[in-house]
Amino acid sequence: SCALEIAQQEKESGMHFDWLVMGTGSTGTQAGLVAGFQACGREMPVMGVSVRQPRERQVAAVHKLTNATLEKLGYPILAPSSIHVDDGYVGEGYGIPADSTLEAISLTARSEGILLDPVYSAKGMAGLIGLVKQGFFKPTDNVLFLHTGGATALFAYEETLLASQSSS
Can you give the pLDDT at residue 52? 96
Indicate the Cα dihedral angle 35, 40, 44, 46, nearest 10°: -20
pTM of this structure:
0.92
Can you give the pLDDT at residue 161? 80
Mean pLDDT by 10 residues, the chain (168 residues): 96 97 97 97 97 97 98 96 97 94 95 94 97 97 93 80 74
Structural Rg of the chain based on CA atoms = 16
Can you give the pLDDT at residue 152? 79
Query: SS3 letters for the chain?
Result: CHHHHHHHHHHHHCCCCCEEEEEECCCHHHHHHHHHHHHCCCCCCEEEEECCCCHHHHHHHHHHHHHHHHHHHCCCCCCHHHCEEECCCCCCCCCCCCHHHHHHHHHHHHHHCCCCCCCCHHHHHHHHHHHHHHCCCCCCCCEEECCCCCHHHHHHHHHHHHHHHHHC
Can you give the pLDDT at residue 168? 60
Can you give the pLDDT at residue 156? 84
Can you give the pLDDT at residue 57? 98
Whole-angstrom Cα distance, residue 101 to residue 73?
A: 36
Can you give the pLDDT at residue 154? 76
Can you give the pLDDT at residue 131? 98
Can you give the pLDDT at residue 103? 96
